[in-house]
Amino acid sequence: MRELIIGVVSSLIATGLTVTAGWFGLSWPRKLLLRLSSRVSGLGVVRAYKKQSAANNDLAADLRSARWIKALVGRGNELTRDSFQDVWRQRHTRLRSVHILLPDPADPGGWLRSREEEMRPVDPGFEPGLLAKQVSANVDYLSAVISANPKVEMRLFDAPHTCRAIITDRFAYFTPYLTGTHGRNSPCFVFGNGSVMYDHLLRTFENLWGAGR
């Protein structure tokens, strides 16, 4: 009962602050409301972005300070961009390991084909086989990175193409891919270590890693 009362009071206070501060054009109450509701629910959301692309700068900063990185990616395009460049160049010494999961370009389960069919009505460029070609290119890119960086390992997975998860020892960046929406335009949520969702995403990654090739 005590926890329930605290939760209700916290939510009321946060909501009041949000409404009041809205009159003055302030953005911090929204972050406060997010943290309070996250603490009460136990989900552990520390940040939220309307679009995955808006999280790139924060992601890059968190990767630079990580002790380890585990990334479950859809196509792997983010691996070739600025977010990961300091990781590949080994510009910080505290990083111990990087595990990357990419879809199997052979697509034995048909998950890439399913995503293409889902996206084709809103983006006609998603012709059959496109995702497999893009994944193959990123597998080649990462293979070159691995040859120069012994801390990096890669495996291929065969599972639904429905999300992206980049996990460090402190945070988990989670993007659920929306139907008919590019991953970069889907929302991104950041969960703190020890939260329900962080633990779930880490467990999911480890299961797929163990089954990968």
| pLDDT tens profile 159-209 | 988 899 999 999 999 999 888 888 788 999 999 999 999 999 999 999 999
* Domain identity same for 85 and 173: yes
pLDDT at 44: 76
Residue 51's domain comprises 44-211
* Domain identity same for 61 and 33: no
pLDDT at 43: 63
* Domain identity same for 155 and 140: yes
Distance of alpha carbon 146 from alpha carbon 159, whole angstroms = 23
Picking from 21, 23, 24, 25, the residue whose alpha carbon sits closest to that of residue 33 is 21
Number of independent structural domains in the chain: 2
* Domain identity same for 37 and 49: no
* Domain identity same for 87 and 185: yes
Which distant-in-sequence residues (6+ apart) come within 8 Å of 5 by Cβ? none
* Domain identity same for 147 and 52: yes
Whether residue 6 has pLDDT greater than 60: no
* Domain identity same for 131 and 184: yes
Q: How are beta strands 97-103 and 152-157 bridged, if at all?
A: parallel
Q: Is 102 helix (H, G, I), strand (E, B) or coil?
A: strand
Res. 126 pLDDT band, cuts 50 70 90? confident
